[in-house]
Structure 1
Amino acid sequence: MKIVIIGGTGLVGRQVVDRLKGEHEVIAASPQTGVDTVTGAGLEEVLHGAQVVVDLSNSPSFAEEDATRFFRTSTTNLLRAEQRAGVLHHVIVSIVGAEGIDAGYMRAKIVQEDLVKGSAAGWSIVRSTQFLEFLAAIADSAMADGVVHMAPVRFQPIASADVARIVAEVAVGTPLAGTMEIAGPRTFGFDEIVRRYLAENGDPREVRTDPAATYFGAPLTDGELVPTGPARLGEISYEEWRARQGR
C-alpha cells in the first residue's frame, strides 16, 4: 500500500513514517521535499498510485485569519488532488474540544474538519488532546511578570509516540467516516502537571493556580481539555515519557 504522509517530517509525521515504512510504501511529503499543499506544487506527482493520505500539516501562524486560510486552501487542494489520483482514505489529526475553546486556531481546525467530512472518498478524523511535548511551550505562553498562571481544569496530555501509533493504525484500517478521540492514560490538574514538569526540569518559576488564566489566549472552562466521551487512551504514562526524554 502506498501511503503519503503530508507533514511527514514533523514531530508526529516522522514517527508515523517510521511505524509504517517496513510494511508499506511510505512517502514523507512536505515543502522541504518539494510538496506544498498551499500552492499545490508536487501534489499530483506524490499522490500518483497512493491509496492513503495522512495530513499532519499545520499552519505556520496561529492567527485565525492565517490559520483558516491555510487549512481551507491546503485541505481543498489536497482533497481535489486525491480525488484525481483515486486515493481511498484521508486521515487528519485534529484537537479534542476544538469546537468549545474560544480561539481562532480552533475555529480554523473546525474548518479543516468540515472540509474532510465533505470528502467523496473515505476519511477519518483523529482528535487528540495536547501533546506532552508541548508542556514547556504551554508554560511559556502562560507567563506574566515571571509567574506562570494556570487554570485548575482537567488536563489529559498524550505522548506524541502514542499519537503516531494510533494514527498509523487508523491509516491502514477501514475509514472511520467519523471521529475518534484519543488522550493520555491519566488525567491531571492543568496547574498540577505544569508545576510538576517545571520542578522536575529545575525551572524555578512559580506556577500560580489562577481560574482566570487563559490557554494560548483563550479562556478555559473545565472539561474542554479532556475527551468529551469514550476515547482511546495512550499507553505511555507521564513518568515513562519523562524517562524517555532523559534517554
Structure 2
Amino acid sequence: MKLAVAGGTGIVGTHVVQVAREREHEVVVLSRSAGVDLVTGSGLSDALDGADVVIDVASTQTISAEESTTFFAAVTRNLLAAEIEAGIGHHLALSIVGIDKAPHSYYAGKVEQERLVRAGGVPWTILRATQFHEFAAQIRAQSSFGPVSVIPKMVSQPIAAREVAERLIDLAEQSPAGRVADLGGPREERVADMVRRYARAIGTRGIVLEVPIPGAYGRAMRNGTLVTSPDSDHGRQTFDQWLAAQGS
C-alpha cells in the first residue's frame, strides 16, 4: 500500500512514517522539505500519484484561533481537492480529544479541519487523540521567561506519539470508518507537574508557576474536557516511562 503522510516530519509524523515502513508500506512524505507546500497546494498533485491513503498529521505552532483556522482550512481543502483529482479513496486525519467542547485558540482550526473532512467528498476516518508526552517540553519552551515557567492549569492524559502512529497505520490498513474511538494515554496528569518532572529529567532548575487561564478555554483545560471518556481506547506508556526512555 502507498501512504502519503502530510506533516511526515513532525513529532507524530516521523513515527507514522517509521511504522508504515516497518510494515513494508511505500511512503511519500508531504512536506516543504520534500517539495510539497500544503498551504498553497504546490507539488501535491505529483506527490499523490498512485497513493492509496492520505494520512494528515500536519500541524502549526500558534495559539491564535484565526491563524490556526486559516492553516487547517487551507491544508485540508488542498489535500481533499488533490485526493479527488488523484482518485484516492481514504482520507485519514488526526484530531484532538474534546475540541468540539472547546473550539478556541489552536483547537478552532482543528474543529474546522474536521468539518471540511466530513463534507469533503472523500471517504474519511478521523482519530482524536490526547496530547503527546512531548507536550511538556513544548509548553515549557513556549511559556518560560528566564528561570520561570508560567504553565496553564490543565489536566492532560498524555500518550506516546509512537502509539498514536501505530493506531493511525492500523486505520490506514482498513476501510474508511468515520469517527473512530478516541485514543488517550494510560493516566491523567497535571501539566504543571509534567513540566516539573521534565525539567528535572533534563537537569535544569527553575520555578514552575501554575496559572488558571480565564474564560471558557481555561475552564476546558481544567475540568477534564480534553481527556478521554470511559468508552475510549488507551495507550500503554506512561509519561514517567517516556521520560525514562528519553534518558536512556
Q: What is the TM-score when the length of structure 2 is the normalising length?
A: 0.88
1:126 Cα deviation from its structure 2 partner: 1.3
Aligned partner of 1:155 in structure 2 is 156
Which deviates more, 145-154 or 156-165? Answer: 145-154
Would the aligned equivalents of 1:94 and 1:128 in 2 still touch at CA under 8 Å? yes
Matches within 5 A, 1:54-203: 54-59=55-60, 61-101=62-102, 103-143=104-144, 146-150=147-151, 153-203=154-204
**Which amino acid in structure 1 is aligned with residue 245 of structure 2?**
R
Give me the whole-angstrom Cα distance separating, in 2, the residues matched to 1:3 and 1:232: 24
Give me the whole-angstrom Cα distance separating, in 1, the residues matched to 2:188 and 2:146: 29
Which deviates more, 109-118 or 43-52? Answer: 43-52
Give me the whole-angstrom Cα distance separating, in 2, the residues matched to 1:35 and 1:172: 24
Identity over the aligned pairs, expressed in percent?
A: 37
Would the aligned equivalents of 1:16 and 1:168 in 2 still touch at CA under 8 Å? yes
1:115 Cα deviation from its structure 2 partner: 0.4
Aligned partner of 2:18 in structure 1 is 18
Aligned partner of 1:36 in structure 2 is 37
Give me the whole-angstrom Cα distance separating, in 2, the residues matched to 1:221 and 1:62: 17
**Alignment partner of 1:99: what SS?**
helix
**Which amino acid in structure 1 is aligned with residue 166 of structure 2?**
R
Structure 1 residues 140 and 50: alpha-carbon distance in aligned structure 2, compared to 1, 3 A threshold: closer
Structure 1 residues 93 and 40: alpha-carbon distance in aligned structure 2, compared to 1, 3 A threshold: same
Give me the whole-angstrom Cα distance separating, in 2, the residues matched to 1:189 and 1:59: 24
Aligned residues: 245
1:154-175: CA deviation from partner (whole Å, max 9, x where unpaired)? 3211111111111111111221
1:67 Cα deviation from its structure 2 partner: 1.9
* 2:239 aligned with 1:231: no
Give me the whole-angstrom Cα distance separating, in 2, the residues matched to 1:71 and 1:244: 32
1:144-198: CA deviation from partner (whole Å, max 9, x where unpaired)? 6854344555321111111111111111122121143111112223333332222
Would the aligned equivalents of 2:7 and 2:31 in 1 still touch at CA under 8 Å? yes
1:185-236: CA deviation from partner (whole Å, max 9, x where unpaired)? 12223333332222333332223444x2479xx5233112311452221122
Structure 1 residues 188 and 59: alpha-carbon distance in aligned structure 2, compared to 1, 3 A threshold: closer
**Alignment partner of 1:77: what SS?**
helix
Structure 1 residues 144 and 45: alpha-carbon distance in aligned structure 2, compared to 1, 3 A threshold: closer
Unaligned runs of 5+ in 1: none
**Which amino acid in structure 1 is aligned with residue 65 of structure 2?**
E
**Alignment partner of 1:174: what SS?**
coil
**Which amino acid in structure 2 is aligned with residue 16 of structure 1?**
V
Give me the whole-angstrom Cα distance separating, in 1, the residues matched to 2:146 and 2:243: 28
1:90 Cα deviation from its structure 2 partner: 0.6
1:132 Cα deviation from its structure 2 partner: 0.8
Aligned partner of 1:2 in structure 2 is 2
1:52 Cα deviation from its structure 2 partner: 0.3
Aligned partner of 1:53 in structure 2 is 54
Would the aligned equivalents of 2:136 and 2:191 in 1 still touch at CA under 8 Å? no
Aligned-residue CA RMSD in angstroms?
A: 2.4
Would the aligned equivalents of 1:96 and 1:225 in 2 still touch at CA under 8 Å? yes
Unaligned runs of 5+ in 2: none
Q: What is the TM-score when the length of structure 1 is the normalising length?
A: 0.88
1:50-78: CA deviation from partner (whole Å, max 9, x where unpaired)? 11000111235442222211111111111
